[in-house]
Amino acid sequence: MKSLNQYIYPKTLKRNEHGNLELGGCDLVQLAKRHSTPLYVIDEKTIRGVLQEYKSAFSNYKNTRLLYASKACLNMGIAKIVSDEGFGFDTVSGGEIYTVYKAGCDMSKVLFNGNNKSPEEIELALNLGVGRISVDNFHELDLLNKIAQKPVDILLRITPGIECHTHDYIKTGQLESKFGFDMEQIDTAINLILNKYKNLNLKGLHAHIGSQIFEIKVFEDELYILLNEIERIKTKFNIELTEINMGGGIGVKYTEQDEPVSIFDVAQKVISKLKDKNLTLYLEPGRSIISTAGVTLYEIGSSKTVEFNAHKYISIDGGMADNPRPSLYGAKYLAEIANKTENRTVEDVTISGKFCESGDILIEKISLPSPQAGDILCVFNTGAYNYSMASNYNRMKKPEMVLVNNSQSDIIVKRETYDDLISLDVIPKRMDK
C-alpha cells in the first residue's frame, strides 16, 4: 500500500477557483500576504496522516513504541500534534528535551540520543524524567553512571556496519561512523555495565543506519544484526535484552526521480521477523513524518539574465538560511508559482536565495510560468530539516510557521523581529561613553 511519504505534494494541496494553490483549505497566496514571506506552512492532515499510517502499519506488532525524531522539525505546536497521536520523542539535546517537556508531553516516552551529551543535558534529562537514554560511547557510560542517583534504563547505540545508499553526510551506520559502539566494543561495554556501573540498567540495543533511505533490504540487514546480537549477548552474558531500536531513515519523494519505500512495506518485513520474539521495537522516524506536510512560501523579487548564456536567475526573499539543504547536500526540490497555476508559458530559470554567497541556490533548474516580481513561489517537501536547520545568517529574521487545517491557519512559530535578533547581544559596559 502506498504511504504519504511516497507523494511529493501534501495531502490537501489543491488548485482553487481563483487559480491559486490551496493547502489545508487556505489560499496560499492570501496566506503569504497575511503572514508575509518566507513562510513555513504545515498541513496538519498530512502530518497526522503519516503518524496514523505508522501506527496502523505497525499495529500487528503490539510491542511497538513509535518515537518522532524531533531533529526533523520541533516546536511546541508540532510536539503537541505528535504526542496527541500517541508518539513519543527521540531527542538529541537539552533544547529538544526542554521543548517537549514545556509542550506537556509524556516524558516517559522520550529517548535521549547523541554522541556527546553534556553533563548539563544529562542532568536535565534525568530531572525531567526521560524514559530511556541511548548511550553512545565509553565516556558516556561513565558520565551517566556518575550523574545518575538511581538506576536509569539505557540502550546501547551500536554501529552495525551497514552501507546504505544515501548522501555521505547523512549515513550513520557504516563502520567508520562517529556514532555508537563498534561491534567489537559491545562486550566490553556490557561487562562494564554488569560489573561496574550500578546505576545503568541495560534494556536493549539501538542503531540508526542513515537518512533518506530508499531500500528495504538495509532495514532487514539492520534488524538481522540487532537480533543476532541480542541472541549472542544472551548466550555469552546470560542476560535477556528486551528492547531494540531501529532508528529512523525512511525516505521521502522530493522529486520524480526519488522512489521511497512504503511505510507499510517496511513494517510488514520488520514484523515478519519479530513475530515469535518477545521484544519491544522502537522506531524513530523524522523526515518521513513531516517532510511532505511542509511547504515554504517565498515572494519573488529581482531577476538577472546572464548576458553570455542567457541564463536567468530569479531571486526569492529567503534561501540558505531557511533551507540550507541544497547548499549542504545538493538537495533537489520542486516548486510552483502559487498564483499562476493555470499559466502554461514556461521558462527555465534558477531560483537563487538572497544570502551573500554564490552557493545560495535553492533550485538549480526549474521550469516555471514566467516568474515575475511579486509572484509567490511555493517550494514543496520542506517540512523536515528546514526550520530545524535554519540560521540567522546575514542577520536575517527566521520565518514564521503556520499550521493549516480545515480552512483555518494558526501561527505555531512567530516571525522573529529585529529586536529578537539583538535581544541576546551585550555591549561590554567599558565601551559605554
Is residue 96 close enough to count as binding ligand LLP by CB under 6 A? no
Minimum distance of ligand LLP from residue 389's CB (angstroms): 6
Is residue 335 close enough to count as binding ligand LLP by CB under 6 A? no
- Residue number with the smallest Cβ distance to ligand LLP: 248
> Beta partners for 337?
377
Distance, CA of 186 to CA of 192 (rounded, Å): 10
Is residue 208 close enough to count as binding ligand LLP by CB under 6 A? yes
- Range in contact with ligand LLP (rule: CB under 6 A) among 214-222, 233-241, 282-290, 368-376: 282-290
Residues 6+ apart with CB under 8 A from 62: none
Q: How far is CA 81 from CA 65, 85, 291, 402, in A?
A: 17, 6, 15, 13
Q: Give the residue, chosen from 43, 90, 136, 317, that forms a contact with ligand LLP under the rule CB under 6 A.
A: 90
Q: Give the residue, chosen from 137, 172, 292, 323, that forms a contact with ligand LLP under the rule CB under 6 A.
A: 172
Q: Of 32 and 69, which has the nearer Cβ to ligand LLP?
A: 69
Instruction: Pick the closest to residue 204 from 265, 134, 146, 111 (CA basis).
Output: 134
Distance, CA of 381 to CA of 8 (rounded, Å): 7
Q: Of 313 and 393, which has the nearer Cβ to ligand LLP?
A: 393
Is residue 140 close enough to count as binding ligand LLP by CB under 6 A? no
The vertex-328 CA angle with 322 and 331, nearest 5°, equals 85
Instruction: Pick the closest to residue 156 from 182, 177, 175 (CA basis).
Output: 182
Q: Of 24 and 248, which has the nearer Cβ to ligand LLP?
A: 248
Is residue 68 close enough to count as binding ligand LLP by CB under 6 A? no
Q: Which amino acid is at 299?
A: E
Minimum distance of ligand LLP from residue 68's CB (angstroms): 9
Taking each helix axis as running N to C, give the angle between helix 119-127 and helix 94-102, from 0 to 180 degrees, rounded to the nearest 10: 20
Distance, CA of 354 to CA of 286 (rounded, Å): 28
Distance from CA of residue 57 to its chain's centroid?
Answer: 20
DSSP 213: B
Is residue 385 close enough to count as binding ligand LLP by CB under 6 A? yes
Burial class (CB in 10 A: 0-12, 13-18, 19+), 316: buried
Give the interface size with ligand LLP as a residue count (CB under 6 A). Answer: 22
Is residue 38 close enough to count as binding ligand LLP by CB under 6 A? no
Q: Give the residue, chosen from 28, 32, 72, 189, that forms a contact with ligand LLP under the rule CB under 6 A.
A: 72
Bridge-based pairing state of the strands 294-305 and 39-43: antiparallel
Bridge-based pairing state of the strands 400-405 and 39-43: parallel
Q: Give the residue, chosen from 23, 47, 69, 130, that forms a contact with ligand LLP under the rule CB under 6 A.
A: 69
Q: Of 113 and 315, which has the nearer Cβ to ligand LLP?
A: 113
Is residue 286 close enough to count as binding ligand LLP by CB under 6 A? yes
> Beta partners for 68?
89
Q: Of 164 and 396, which has the nearer Cβ to ligand LLP?
A: 164
Minimum distance of ligand LLP from residue 145's CB (angstroms): 22
Q: 97 with 91: CB under 8 angstroms? A: yes
Interaction residues for ligand LLP, span 185-204 (CB under 6 A): none
Distance, CA of 202 to CA of 244 (rounded, Å): 11
Count of beta carbons in the 10 Å neighbourhood of residue 365: 11
Minimum distance of ligand LLP from residue 50's CB (angstroms): 11
Minimum distance of ligand LLP from residue 19's CB (angstroms): 33
- Range in contact with ligand LLP (rule: CB under 6 A) among 18-26, 66-74, 391-399, 420-428: 66-74
- Range in contact with ligand LLP (rule: CB under 6 A) among 117-125, 148-156, 280-288, 425-433: 280-288
- Range in contact with ligand LLP (rule: CB under 6 A) among 24-32, 101-109, 281-289, 299-307: 281-289
Interaction residues for ligand LLP, span 409-428 (CB under 6 A): none
Minimum distance of ligand LLP from residue 213's CB (angstroms): 7
Residues 6+ apart with CB under 8 A from 22: 12, 13, 14, 15, 16, 28
Annotated active-site residue 73? The verdict is no
Bridge-based pairing state of the strands 152-159 and 132-135: parallel
Terminal Cα-to-Cα distance of the chain (whole angstroms): 70
Q: Of 252 and 351, which has the nearer Cβ to ligand LLP?
A: 252
Is residue 288 close enough to count as binding ligand LLP by CB under 6 A? yes
Instruction: Dig out the grid coordinates for 329 from the structure.
Output: 547536500
Minimum distance of ligand LLP from residue 58's CB (angstroms): 15
Contact residues for ligand LLP, defined by CB under 6 A: 69, 71-72, 90, 113, 170, 172, 208, 211-212, 247-249, 284-288, 325, 329, 385, 389
Catalytic residues: 356
